[in-house]
Structure 1
Amino acid sequence: MVLSKLAMAVARSTGIVGYRGAGRIFRRLSHIPAFRDSEGVADLGARKITFPAFDPYWAQYLWTRKTYEPDVEAIFQALSPIPHKVLVDCGANIGFWTIKLSNPSYGFDRLIAVEANPYVFEYLRRNVQINGLEVDCRHAAIAEESGHMVHIDGSQGHAVGVVGSVGTPVGTVSLRSLLDGIDGLAVVKLDVEGSEVPAIRGGESVRADVLYVYEDWPRSGLPVSVHLLGRGYSIIGVHPDGRSERLSSLEAIHDFNRRSAPGYHPANLVATRKPQLYPAP
């Protein structure tokens, strides 16, 4: 409890050094066993979320209640009037979006959360439990096909759950398997550290209308958007303030990314084969 309060105080007093400076402070402290094992609990609207108190990524958002991914928040707000949706949170991490979007105001009837990293999957499972939610939690790596084994490179930390040739073995699951028998709209949030294209391939031919929420890296040539455009998807860019743009070419996506996420950081985008599902000019 004492260390948790210290983490909160550090987070709320680091405005002068900025987000990156605060991240460095937390990163150093998180290498000390007592600090690494300390946990915090923060409010997430009407829900609670537990997390590593000195996590260099989550601590700055959850202790300070700083808006996390405002463009993604705008996307889900725009989709909220559509009832009876299914959420598939791929790369759910500690469960931030799963827990937040469980609020009935977002219009999701069913929640599926997939996380490959065993360390953060335990936080996901516990966060679902402490909020008394009905969520289909899968400790698996999203992939083109179910039933294979891959390795997750690393077992701790926010962004270490990357599929590689060494690490913790974990089974794979496809969107085709997760969405089997589901009709209506399935909103799939993809944050799977470079495995987005295989995941999308694994979602072809499902009965549901699939709408993807994903980020794409301009420095890598926007590979996810290239794939989606080639498969006939409409791409929509959403600014942090909620303004949206229909993007009909790779050049338009590059331009949108430059304006909405300067410095070659990835922008969050929406992709659907039914553009009428997302309100955009």
Structure 2
Amino acid sequence: MTTLALPIGKEQSPRPAQGASFGTWAPTPVQKLILILAHHTPLGRGRGRRLAAALLRRLRDGPIDYTLGGSPFRFDIRDNSTDRQSLLHPGYNREEFEFLAEVMGKGGVFVDIGANVGFFSVKLAAQCGAGCRVIAIEPNPVVLERLRFNTEAMRDRITVVDQAAGRAEGVARFQSQAGNLGQSRFDADGEIEVQVRPLQTILQSLGVMRIDALKIDVEGFEDDVILPFFATAPKTLWPTRIVIEFTSRSEWKGDCIACLQDCGYVLSSKTRGNMLFELGDAATHRLAGSGPSR
């Protein structure tokens, strides 16, 4: 996605301390009007979204505190495309979210790998209520500060893991993309050093015994997480449903899709950026009319 340039002659506001209470950056009346229009007209999509984002920034160049779907978020549309899309387009990733939420009943467990600022983690934790458990894995220290802010109100349900999931335990270099934090990724020349642990090791350290839903979006390194996990994890730990981002599939060293299919997962749907898989036994029960099963 093209990064929006700041309007000529306007200085960029300093990044706020995330500790500032929610509401500090409440939208101005005109910003609220733009958001309403974006949510109900094409202004929230495609070129319209870029225009809406530029207008919001011209009015006040800073983050925006906004309650979306009943959950409070601090969005920063200046440097994160996920924030722009989530704030301006209510239908953003709706199919993926509903697919995962269907199996998150009372006491459900959701693992969010590449949690970014917590869009999926917070929404699922809010919808599923007390008793559910969300593991939000995010190694980028800049994004982590925002993730912790957004998850603070649900810290009893959401565990933030400030590490990266990968093939083996160790450290790796990480490059934070200043123009779009959602595209930050592993890079041998990256300026940040992050701790890496296999997904199964992370889950074991947290006492996770089962997973109902899992989302993974790690910018082309999905194979470093998925392949070793399914090679060693017991089937009792395999997620019922998985949403996997596939737009960087050409960078995989191993085929995650083939791995999932070999493990018995069935492709339920495919969106612009993600593939939605359901474990075969659960898919069979659902199609037979008995609902999702563990």
Q: TM-score range by the shorter chain?
A: 0.7 to 0.9
Q: Deviations over 1:67-88 (max 9, x none)?
A: 221211221232134x433211
**Residue equivalent to 2:84:** 59
Check conservation: 2:137, 2:164, Cα contact below 8 A. yes
Compared with structure 1, are the counterparts of its residues 48 and 106 closer, same or farther at alpha carbon in structure 2 (3 Å cutoff)? Answer: same
Identity %: 20
Once the two structures are superposed, residues 34-77 of structure 1 have per-residue CA deviations (whole angstroms, 9 ceiling, x without a partner) of 72xx121222333211121555542343256x122121122123
The answer on 1:190 being equivalent to 2:216 is yes
Read off the aligned partner of 1:46 and give its amino acid letter.
G
- Alignment partner, residue 136 of structure 1: 159
Query: Structure 1 pair 13/172, CA: closer, same or farther in 2 (3 Å)?
Result: same
Q: Conserved in 1, the CA contact under 8 Å of 2:66 and 2:72?
A: yes
In the TM superposition, residue 132 of structure 1 has moved relative to its aligned partner by 4.7
Tell me if structure 2 keeps the 8 A contact 1:90–1:189.
yes
Match of 1:101 among 100, 117, 124: 124
Report the CA distance between 1:99 and its aligned residue.
Answer: 0.7
Question: Mapping of 1:111-190 within 5 angstroms?
Answer: 111-155=134-178, 157-167=180-190, 168-180=192-204, 181-190=207-216
Structure 2 SS opposite 1:148: strand
For 1:112 and 1:218, the matched residues in 2 are separated by 24
Distance 2:152 2:57 in 1: 28
Paired residue for 1:74, among 85, 91, 98?
98
Greater strand proportion: 1
Asked if structure 1 preserves the Cα contact closer than 8 Å seen for 2:267 and 2:275, the reply is no
1:213 alignment partner, one of 220, 239, 243: 243
Query: 2:86, 2:92 within 8 Å by CA — same for their partners in 1?
Result: yes
Provide Cα deviations, 1:152-194, integer angstroms capped at 9, x if missing partner: 2424524221222222222212211122143233422111111
Q: What's the secondary structure of 2:66's corresponding residue?
A: strand
Secondary structure at 1:49 match in 2: strand
Looking at structure 2, the residues matched to 96 and 123 of structure 1 have their Cα atoms a distance apart, in angstroms, of: 11
The number of residues matched between the two structures is 251
The gaps in structure 2 that reach 5 residues or longer are 1-23, 289-294
Kindly tell me: are residues 198 and 186 of structure 1, through their superposed partners in 2, closer, same or farther at Cα, counting changes over 3 Å? Answer: farther
CA change 1:60–1:12 in 2 (3 A) is farther
Specify whether residues 29 and 118 from structure 1 end up closer, same or farther in structure 2 by C-alpha distance, changes over 3 A only: farther
Report deviation, 1:278.
Answer: 6.9
Distance 2:136 2:25 in 1: 32
Partner of 2:48: 22
Counterpart CA distance in 2 for 1:187 and 1:50 is 25
The CA distance in 2 between the partners of 1:210 and 1:88, in whole Å, is 11
8 Å contact from structure 1 (residues 114, 140) kept in 2 = yes
TM-score, normalised on structure 1? 0.73
* Distance (Å, rounded) in 2 between the aligned partners of 1:147 and 1:62: 36
Cα distance in structure 2, aligned partners of 1:278 and 1:121: 38
